[in-house]
Amino acid sequence: MARGKVAAALGIVALSAACKGDIGDSDETTPEPQGEATLEAPVLPRLTEAQYRNALVHLFGDALPATPVQPDTNPFLFTSIGATTDPLSEIGVQQLEEAADAVVHAVFDDPARRAALVGCEPTSPGDPCTSGFLEVFGRRAFRRPLAASEVTRWVDVASTLSGGDPWVGLAAAVRGMLQAPSFVYRVELGEPDPDEPTRLRYTGFEMASRLSFVLWNGPPDEELLDAADRGDLDEAAGVEAQASRLLDDPRARVAIMEFFDQYLDLGRLEGVTRDAELYPTFSESLAEAMRAEARLIVDDLVFRRDVDVRQLFSTRRTFVNDELAAHYGVDAPGSSAITFVPVELPADGPRAGLLTLGAFLTMNAHEATTSPTLRGKYLRERVLCAEVPPPPPDVDTEIELNPEEPKTLREVLDQHRTNPACAGCHSLLDPPGFLFEGFDAIGRVRSEDNGYPVDTSGELDGEDLADARDLAEVLANDERVGACLTKQLFRHAMGRLDVETESPALDRVHDRFADSGFRFRELLLALVTNDSFRFVAPPEVSQ
């Protein structure tokens, strides 16, 4: 599908106008991108909390002390974007110092552990054992070979701070390396491209880092660094070969699940509470089971079966433990509190796809009521990649049912759409959100709301639908779902938002994704071999 058609399908221009109250009044369409994709300037991401911890384990092994660092932020869904936009605070610098000190003490205070790390016995500050170790360790820590001047500098640190004890000097140098920008940040700036002087290409070692942090959420291993050293990562074929190897490693499973956790916003299930009188069966363990269910569906589609990942929003195959089975009213032989088993939801039942299951329905509801608005917003933003502006700052978003005049929540929201200040967004979000009114605030099937029959009818962009099952059937073939997933992965991998002039690049990635039958593995390979991932604009060229 042409990228211009994808962009038009996402309806971003129309959506922005609608949320300003101009529903149906605009004939504007998204312009067709022209020419080749542009390249953007490099970003400088700091390691996220998980990446920092994974880097430490890569260097020193497990059994490390706690290392709290500056907390992640997730603007535009992903911590990778927060890592490029959230500056390191003074407290964050102090935390990095304290973490480095704690790790170095844990390793170097243990004679057996430090000997295993260093691999030789230094006899004097700055001796060949010291310099050899720092050169090897620096390559692993900085994810590239150290220049001769850098080796000299760190050997000088070890010598100057040794106090006559070479082990003390080595510990001081390692402590410094763990606070150096080349460790804390992913320094990927590019080098002149010999084939195209108007752009930079990422060096082989920068590509190794980019690949490993996208596919493993951690630093490159020795094999990947060796591939960079040989020049294998200078060509797309070499990048794909190494990416395929990384995807076959168990670390890829963890990293990809972290992407889906953020894309689907599953972290919001932590700390969810419900009115105990209205929802006596809701518990922390039930919320945990809902999150596990969503993750197991992703794992099934992406890794176990490697099939069309868009089925996430239409599949009737799910995974439940005994508590979740009781919650849904399904039979699940063999399940227990800790054992999840696959079940096939009834073909004539109300559930199909993630948007009819507990995680989505519970996250997007209130303490005592459902929220068609929140559910519609999630569908628009995360599944269809539409931009939904926040409500005006002076708008009261609280909704209360009048006990003296019982009404369904749907009727109350209908009143919101008569208010010009609310009509724009509510007219866009509520109609698809009403499709989920057959489920209560913890995802149980219901037929009444406040004592009145539930109306589950709604519409999505002019198409009338009966309920959430109807929506699942629409999403199964909606071109926007695959296009949105492509866009979300692009943002996660790049650590920034895409710009309109990158649409041709997104188009090429999406085309390979579509040609593969929308297999997520192919989407990853298409992305990391695309020019937008391998090349970068000089900073002064980016607009």
Q: Return the domain boundaries, the chain.
A: 49-184, 271-475
CA 229, 235, 240 angle in degrees (round to 5)? 95
Instruction: Return the closest-CA partner of residue 47 out of 212, 183, 188.
Output: 183
Mean pLDDT along residues 57-66: 97
Q: Are 351 and 357 in contact (CB under 8 A)?
A: yes
CB-CB neighbours of 210 under 10 Å: 23
Residues 6+ away with beta carbon under 8 Å from 485: 263, 309, 310, 513, 520, 523
The pLDDT-based confidence of 323 (bands split at 50, 70, 90) is very high
Strand, coil or helix: what is 178? Answer: coil
pLDDT at residue 15 is higher than 80? no
In angstroms, the CA 161 to CA 141 distance is: 20
Give phi and psi for 30, each to the nearest 5. -70, 130
Residues of the chain above pLDDT 70, percent: 89
Q: Are 469 and 306 in contact (CB under 8 A)?
A: no
Mean pLDDT along residues 282-307: 98
pLDDT at 389: 79
pTM, 2 dp: 0.90
CA 515, 521, 527 angle in degrees (round to 5)? 75
Q: What is the DSSP-derived secondary structure letter of residue 354? A: G
CA 256, 487, 521 angle in degrees (round to 5)? 35
Instruction: Return the closest-CA partner of residue 209 out of 83, 407, 364, 55.
Output: 55
Mean pLDDT along residues 441-445: 98
* Mean per-residue pLDDT of the chain: 91
pLDDT at 412: 79
pLDDT at 426: 80
Q: What is the DSSP-derived secondary structure letter of residue 498? A: -
Q: Are 204 and 227 in contact (CB under 8 A)?
A: yes
Residues of the chain above pLDDT 90, percent: 84
Mean pLDDT along residues 338-363: 98
Question: 175-180 — which CB contacts under 8 Å span 24+ positions?
Answer: 175/100, 175/101, 175/104, 176/100, 177/137, 177/138, 177/141, 177/142, 178/56, 178/96, 178/99, 178/100, 178/103, 178/104, 178/141, 179/96, 179/97, 179/100, 180/141, 180/142
Residue with tokens 């390691």: 47
Instruction: Write out the two tokens for 477.
Output: 């073939």
Q: What is the pLDDT of residues 243-291, one digit of tens each?
A: 999 999 999 999 999 999 999 999 999 999 999 999 999 999 999 999 9
pLDDT at 427: 85
In 3-state terms the chain splits into helix, strand, coil percentages (rounded to 5) of 55, 5, 40
pLDDT at 420: 61
CB-CB neighbours of 525 under 10 Å: 21
**Which contiguous run of DSSP H or E holds residue 448?**
strand 448-449
Q: Where are the alpha helices (DSSP H) in 109-203?
A: 111-118, 128-142, 148-160, 166-177, 181-184
Mean pLDDT along residues 161-182: 98
Mean pLDDT along residues 437-463: 96
Lowest pLDDT segment from 24-28, 154-158, 359-363: 24-28
Per the document, the length of the chain is 543
The β-bridge relationship of strands 448-449 and 341-344 is unpaired
In angstroms, the CA 111 to CA 95 distance is: 26
Q: Are 537 and 41 in contact (CB under 8 A)?
A: yes
What residue type is assigned to position 121 of the chain?
E
CB-CB neighbours of 198 under 10 Å: 10
Q: What's the distance, CA 166 to chain centroid?
A: 43
pLDDT at residue 5 is higher than 80? no
Residue with tokens 């208010």: 419
pLDDT at 399: 59
Three-class DSSP labels, 199-212: CEECCHHHHHHHHH
pLDDT at residue 35 is higher than 90? no
Instruction: Return the closest-CA partner of residue 399 out of 436, 439, 369.
Output: 369
pLDDT at residue 191 is higher than 90? yes
Mean pLDDT along residues 6-23: 34
The pLDDT-based confidence of 414 (bands split at 50, 70, 90) is confident
Instruction: Return the closest-CA partner of residue 143 out of 179, 183, 98.
Output: 183
Q: Are 301 and 354 in contact (CB under 8 A)?
A: no
Instruction: Return the closest-CA partner of residue 506 out of 535, 530, 477.
Output: 530
The pLDDT-based confidence of 409 (bands split at 50, 70, 90) is confident
What residue type is assigned to position 7 of the chain?
A
pLDDT at 408: 85
pLDDT at residue 32 is higher than 70? no
In angstroms, the CA 19 to CA 423 distance is: 8
Instruction: Write out the two tokens for 100.
Output: 């480095």
Mean pLDDT along residues 513-533: 98
Positive or negative, the CA dihedral 335, 340, 346, 349 is positive
Positive or negative, the CA dihedral 183, 105, 112, 57 is negative
